[in-house]
């Protein structure tokens, strides 16, 4: 299948997890994929292991200068961008041991989570719009979360940033439509997807298995999702099969929001 034939794609946070799965699937579907991340060693390794047209580029999504560098690089090498997957994200509450509830809010941690999850997506959309005007059919896919739709008491910054991503996606969708740009924009809302993001919380061995079972028991489909489950949703929104779809939120969550 070549559902993304001749598409030039940029995936952020592609060194592991959902971003890696998207990069692999999109290459399988005939796209040219630029993987990007802050973990350059892992990103290079993953990119070299992918069969197809893949390359790696450093990009810290929270940095304006990094976006300007990659914009110039893509413009000079490809002349346009067809798909942006704004995937890079941090939870804050999984990476640090500090509290992330509203009462004990730590403003530095709050800013850090928003700088990656929200500023990163906004800068990505801004950069992509400039590059996508030269495409005939372009798509921006933003990774929000189930937490962008419901409140999460122990993850205030994460939930707030992901809710903002959901809304910014709709704003970008309407803005592009009103300006007759050939650009659609949608958000994906994963539930619990088993990726390295969860490692710090799940632990190892038997404790890990028990934790996965406990999380799964709250999900109607009774299992955590795979990175590939999200990659297939991203494939639909990236491809021209969704050419009449913009401003939507697509839940990939085993039914937890049903």
Residues of this chain that interact with ligand NAI (CB under 6 A) are: 12-13, 15-19, 37-39, 59-62, 87-90, 116, 143, 145, 190, 192-193, 195-197
The answer to whether the beta carbons of residues 33 and 213 sit under 8 Å apart is no
Instruction: Choose between 89 and 131: whose C-beta lies nearer to ligand NAI.
Output: 89
Residue (29 or 158) nearer to ligand NAI, CB = 158
Q: How far apart are CA 92 and CA 106, in angstroms?
A: 11
When the beta carbons of 135 and 251 are compared against ligand NAI, the nearer one is 251
DSSP type of residue 62: T
Contacts of 217 (CB under 8 A, 6+ apart): none
Selection from 180, 186, 139, 181 nearest residue 167 by Cα: 186
Active site residue 158: yes
158, 181, 232, 236: the catalytic one is 158
What is the nearest approach in angstroms of ligand NAI to the Cβ of residue 126? Answer: 16
* Least distance CB 247 / ligand NAI (angstroms): 19
Residue 121 C-beta: closest distance to ligand NAI, Å? 9
- Catalytic site residues? 158
């Amino acid at each position: 299948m070549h559902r993304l034939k001749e598409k030039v794609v940029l995936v952020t946070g592609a060194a592991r997890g959902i971003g890696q799965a998207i990069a692999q699937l999109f290459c399988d579907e005939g796209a040219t994929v630029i993987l990007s991340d802050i973990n350059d060693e892992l990103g290079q390794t993953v990119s070299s292991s992918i069969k197809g047209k893949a390359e790696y580029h450093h990009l810290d999504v929270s940095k304006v200068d990094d976006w300007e560098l990659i914009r110039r690089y893509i413009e000079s090498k490809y002349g346009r961008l067809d798909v942006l997957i704004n995937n890079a994200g941090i939870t804050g509450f999984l990476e640090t041991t500090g509290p992330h509830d509203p009462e004990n809010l730590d403003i530095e941690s709050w800013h850090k989570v928003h700088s990656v999850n929200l500023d990163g997506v906004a800068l990505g959309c801004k950069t992509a719009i400039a590059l996508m005007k030269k495409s005939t059919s372009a798509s921006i896919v933003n990774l929000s979360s189930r937490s962008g739709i419901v409140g999460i008491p122990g993850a205030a910054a994460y939930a707030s940033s992901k809710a903002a991503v959901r809304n910014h996606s709709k704003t970008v969708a309407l803005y592009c439509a009103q300006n007759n740009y050939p650009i659609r924009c949608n958000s994906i809302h994963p539930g619990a997807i088993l990726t390295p993001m969860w490692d710090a919380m799940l632990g190892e061995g038997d404790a890990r298995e028990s934790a996965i079972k406990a999380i799964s028991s709250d999900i109607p489909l009774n299992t955590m999702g795979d990175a590939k489950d999200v990659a297939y949703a991203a494939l639909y929104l990236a491809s021209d099969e969704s050419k009449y779809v913009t401003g939507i939120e697509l839940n990939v969550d085993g039914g937890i929001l049903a």
